[in-house]
């Protein structure tokens, strides 16, 4: 017999000997003993941010001063309401937009989004009141770190003045978001 097979022989003799001794052994549990815990520990679910208050500093450069509120309904959809004061091209007035967001990652307000929005502009040019409608869409991304919300988006909007026979104009837009998100 060579020394190479000795470790294998020792392990096999231990296994055969221990099984022979365990044949008569019985396991007795007390009647009061609870069953062993069979739950599996997993990572806790990520917090889902459902409410955010945000502003658009890039909009302030264009003359639109607004603060928006986003509210997530479930993990995959949200509404955005943005009232703003507008001072662009001699117009001074109020703007109101309502948007519907689809959040494909299902992490609440965090991550990429697709938005469709409709809005109105109620302004004055000189002494004459002017109004208009706006329809559009936007793609963007929002990141939340310890409640601080940072993000951005770009899209296009169709603007139509309420004047009779006014043409549709296409306006491209880019937005930057700064704000705070709540769970």
What integer pLDDT is reported at residue 36 of this predicted model? 74
| Domain ranges within the chain, ordered by starting residue | 51-182
Pairing of strands 168-182, 111-125: unpaired
Question: Topology of domain 51-182, per CATH?
Answer: Porin (2.40.160)
Q: Give the whole-angstrom CA distance, residue 19 versus residue 54.
A: 69
> What is the greatest pairwise CA distance in the chain?
112
Question: pLDDT value at position 28?
Answer: 58
Average pLDDT, the chain: 84
pLDDT over threshold 80, residue 57: yes
Residue 29 has a pLDDT of 57
pLDDT of amino acid 139: 98
Query: What pLDDT is attached to residue 125?
Result: 79
pLDDT at 25: 57
pLDDT at 180 over 90: yes
If you average pLDDT over residues 51-63, what whole number do you get? 91
pLDDT at 90: 77
Res 147 pLDDT > 80: yes
Higher pLDDT, 49 or 19: 49
Q: What is the pLDDT of residues 4-24, one digit of tens each?
A: 767 777 777 766 665 555 555
Tens-place pLDDT, residues 79-116: 999 999 988 777 789 999 999 999 999 888 999 999 99
Chain position carrying tokens 């959040």: 103
């Amino acid at each position: 017999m060579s020394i190479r097979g000795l470790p294998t022989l020792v392990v096999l003799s231990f296994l055969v000997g221990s099984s022979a001794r365990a044949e008569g052994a019985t396991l007795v549990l007390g009647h009061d003993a609870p069953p062993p815990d069979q739950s599996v520990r997993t990572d806790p679910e990520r917090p889902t941010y459902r409410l955010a208050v945000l502003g658009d500093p890039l909009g302030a450069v264009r003359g639109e001063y607004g603060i928006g509120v986003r509210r997530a309904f479930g993990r995959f959809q949200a509404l955005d309401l943005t009232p703003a004061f507008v001072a662009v091209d001699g117009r001074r007035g109020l703007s109101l937009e309502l948007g519907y967001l689809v959040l494909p990652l299902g992490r609440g307000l965090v991550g990429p989004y697709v938005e469709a929005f409709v809005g109105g502009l109620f302004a004055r040019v000189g002494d004459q009141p002017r109004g208009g409608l706006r329809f559009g869409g936007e793609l963007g991304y929002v990141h939340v770190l310890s409640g601080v919300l940072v993000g951005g988006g770009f899209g296009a909007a169709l603007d139509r003045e309420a004047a009779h026979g006014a043409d549709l104009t296409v306006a491209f837009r880019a937005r930057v978001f700064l704000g705070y998100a709540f769970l």
